[in-house]
Amino acid sequence: MTGNAAFFDPPESVRGMKVLDRNLFRKTVLIPGLAVPEKSIGKLAKSLKKEVLRFRSIKPVVELSAKDSLAKSHKLMLFNPLKIKSAEDFNEDQRTVLEKLNVVLSSFQFYSFDMNYDNWDHAEIIKAVLPEELEAVTGFAIVGHVAHLNLRDGADDYKNLIGQVILDKHRTLKTVVNKLKSIDSEFRNFKMELLAGEPDFTTTVKEHGCTFTFDFSKVYWNTKLGLAVPEKSIGKLAKSLKKEVLRFRSIKPVVELSVKDSLAKSHKLMLFNPLKIKSAEDFNEDQRTVLEKLNVVLSSFQFYSFDMKYDNWDHAEIIKAVLPEELEAVTGFAIVGHVAHLNLRDGADDYKNLIGQVILDKHRTIKTVVNKLKSIDSEFRNFKMELLAGEPDFTTTVKEHGCTFTFDFSKVYWNTKLGTEHNLVASQIKQEDTVFDVFAGVGPFAIPCGKKGITVFANDLNPDSYESLVLNVSKNKANHNSNVHCFNMDGRDFIKQIFSKEMERIWKDPSPKGTVHVLMNLPALAVEFLDSFVGLFNQSSCKPKDPNCLPYVHCYYFSKCENLEQDSREAVERVLGCTLDDSISIREVRNVAPGKEMMCIKFRVPESVLFKGNVETEGYALNCITCDSAADKECGDPFTANQEKYLVKCEPEETYCGKTVSTEDIRSRKYSVHFGY
């Protein structure tokens, strides 16, 4: 257990042992503990997980003494002795947790545990035995049932003990050998000596779907191969044999030769891909010609021993190795500032914390790893998440196309895959344009537009998104001309109140500039909000001077149909209740999942949609005052502001009174005109 080294180390009396005596590996440790009600064990272990004992061979929860009055209803929970030495070491927050779970500090006691040889692994035992000035021999390679070591200078007196310890601690091993430094000059294989176990060197190894059986004492097997190359020729040879040279992130392709090698002062050892070059015979004629020109002799071919460890593999390789073969490796994740977030696949739940820790270990800039849960907040559409590893710090900062965004990732929505889309849309909008961002989030569209001096009205229903939006507008100095206005409203209310008011102001302007863009980036729901535009101005006295004054809508939508464009168009037209003209633009934004595409539908909202129900633009009189009676047929005259004398129906009566009314009366709903569509 990290941090418990001195406390749980083997006894100091074994230092210098040269003949293994397992009976001397005995030590009694006193581990602090508290009596915990059985029903509260899980909750307390979770709340105090950093303090609870974690040591491979000692259970963190044990039985209380039979003499203890609480023995029938409680268990003894053990704690890290480097963090908790007495009841006084629990802080106020921890004491509050203990009190809520009915754990009393007066039950604090020490648990006596007798450690023996079985409680330590091979590395801990070898480190305890060797003299302190001698580096511990903990690394070795396994070839089938054979473990082979390269013992360091000074460890010779301890070699048989080291071999026996490794044999004891690894059930699959039957033989432990040490490679000697002398090399057979003819076959270039290392000689070896038996340290422990059976003298059985015929072993079987599996590699990349192939099985290899050989006598390890007579042939060479390794994953690293090389040639001694004159230093001045290294660059040329690396270029000429670039497909054969070793390329593995944690192993340099050129290393030093052994100091005992006669070429060590003038040459380096160049390593090759072991799947392509397994012996000197594997170099073809062209390659041999290159080697000869560069004064590289094939007789210098040798194997380089490299001890790989945790640091040598990346997160994807480690996770793939850990997960069962039938479970697809979880290698992909997105990084949002210092937070890495995953979408774990079904079946990976038992491995989720390990996966999180590996990702945390392998990426220095990451401090927090979370898993997105499948449930979605129905109101604000943000994913719930669980912490897998690292700090529970979800407030993060992201940079995107020259803008900085700060937000609490656990409370708002942010998608790293939409950066290109944000930049594309913002780049198409001109400085004289006006933007209404209905679902603005933390500002990925609004802020780059605001920085360009564009007038922006940005809205989001989520109060946390709104708070971050306001903060990010300020941080990015996007409002230096008071051109960015932020709102915390429902999308429909924003369209009906803010958008409609500003559109009337623009239409009243005798010389309006630019184009109006309405951004609706909520692909799961945005189409449903389009009904807010239907009849939005049916009581308005303002009208656009020409079609160019009508707003463009950029509506995002998820389509699962084979014909993406047709499905997207029909979804929009169905809500608007009209057929859009050919100026509509439909494009694919990104693939969200198999069979699911995110689409963007850009169109001008037709005047007939915005003014639907307005008698000045759409009404046709069913009866006019010049007709003889209400029973006469429709006259078909269009009803306009210049033709006020139409037969109307008084409210609440149902009869035709024939009264002449003004258009102002009609707008105020004092009367309702009979008209058709």
CB of 428 closer than 8 Å to CB of 461: no
Binding site for S-adenosyl-L-methionine, by residue number, is 422, 460-461, 490-491, 521
**Is the preceding peptide bond at 230 cis, omega within 30 degrees of 0?**
no
Q: Which of 380, 343, 425 is nearest to 525 (CA)?
A: 380
Q: For the whole model, what pTM was predicted? A: 0.56
User: How confident is residue 629, by pLDDT bands cut at 50, 70 and 90?
Assistant: very low
Question: Which of the residue ranges 309-323, 593-607, 625-639 would you say has the lowest mean pLDDT?
Answer: 625-639
* Token pair belonging to 673: 């005109």
Supply the pLDDT for residue 623.
35
Give CA–CA dist 91/489, Å, rounded: 43
* Token pair belonging to 557: 């939508």
Higher pLDDT, 208 or 455: 455
pLDDT at 205 over 90: no
- Hey, which residues does 480 pair with through a beta bridge? none
Supply the pLDDT for residue 278.
81
Question: Which of the residue ranges 24-33, 344-353, 546-555 would you say has the lowest mean pLDDT?
Answer: 344-353
- Exposure letters 179-202 (e unless 16+ CB within 10 A, then b): beeebeeeeebbebebbbbeeebe
Averaged pLDDT score across all residues of the chain: 84
Supply the pLDDT for residue 317.
86
Give CA–CA dist 164/444, Å, rounded: 62
Supply the pLDDT for residue 222.
57
CB of 405 closer than 8 Å to CB of 472: yes
Residues of the chain with pLDDT > 90: what percent? 58
CB of 624 closer than 8 Å to CB of 637: yes
pLDDT at 442 over 50: yes
pLDDT at 360 over 90: yes
- Which of 171-180, 258-267, 427-436 has the highest mean predicted lDDT (pLDDT)? 427-436
* Token pair belonging to 85: 């030495």
Interval 95-112 mean pLDDT:
93
pLDDT in tens, 458-473: 999 999 999 999 999 9
In terms of DSSP bridges, do strands 648-649 and 672-673 run parallel, antiparallel, or are they unpaired? Answer: antiparallel
Supply the pLDDT for residue 655.
37
CB atoms under 10 Å from CB of 675, counted, come to 16
Give CA–CA dist 183/302, Å, rounded: 9
Higher pLDDT, 153 or 467: 467
Which distant-in-sequence residues (6+ apart) come within 8 Å of 170 by Cβ? Answer: 122, 142, 147
- Give start and end residues of each alpha helix (H) in 82-228: 92-100, 122-129, 159-169
Binding site, by residue number, is 422, 460-461, 490-491, 521
CB of 163 closer than 8 Å to CB of 196: yes
CB atoms under 10 Å from CB of 642, counted, come to 7
